[in-house]
Amino acid sequence: MTDRIDSELGPILIATTATHLVALDFAEFDARMKDVLQHRFGDIELRDSENPLGVSSRLSAYLAGELDALDEIEVDPGGTEFQQVVWRELRRIPIGKTISYGQLAVRVGQPTASRAVGMANSKNPIGIVIPCHRVIGADGTLTGYAGGIVRKQWLLAHEQVSGQLQLNL
């Protein structure tokens, strides 16, 4: 089931199974999302649905300022075992906080794997809900967001991230 939510960040597409959110991306990247879904599930038929699993209303609430609205969304991102470990850890980063790729690598028990953590972040099929936007460079720079650095900056400001962040364009 799929839905489209209009937002300040542009239209957002979501895809769910009967039980879990499996993909979330910006509408301009709909081909990327369809590729991810097809690779994972094979030949699929995407059907529009209003507010599947309540995800659309939770995402809208988050974007309207209810920052913890995404916490209860059940996700199933697929991926490799390592990616799943990284993505689970991303959901443990508190709202309003950021960590570096290196710190995330330590958290997942792979202290020398910051590049692998960065690659897992880049493959995250459920942006925003699995908050890869909360991972920044060790020097505070905003790097590596598949939805675009400007959106990453907006999300962090929306979550009232404190501290000095640098936009690296």
Establish whether 132 is a catalytic residue: yes
Q: Which of 68, 62, 80 is nearest to 24 (CA)?
A: 62
Tokens of 143: 């790097």
CA angle at 36 for the pair 27 and 97, rounded to the nearest 5°:
70
Annotated active-site residue in 14, 132, 135, 155: 132
Contacts of 115 (CB under 8 A, 6+ apart): 101
- DSSP letter string, 1-17: -EEEE--TT--EEEEE-
Burial level of 27, CB count in 10 A (0-12/13-18/19+)?
middle
Residue whose token pair is 């009232």? 160
String of b and e for 86-120 (b: at least 16 CB within 10 Å)?
Answer: bbebbeebeeeebbbbbbbbebbeeeebbebbbeb
* Residues annotated as part of the active site: 132
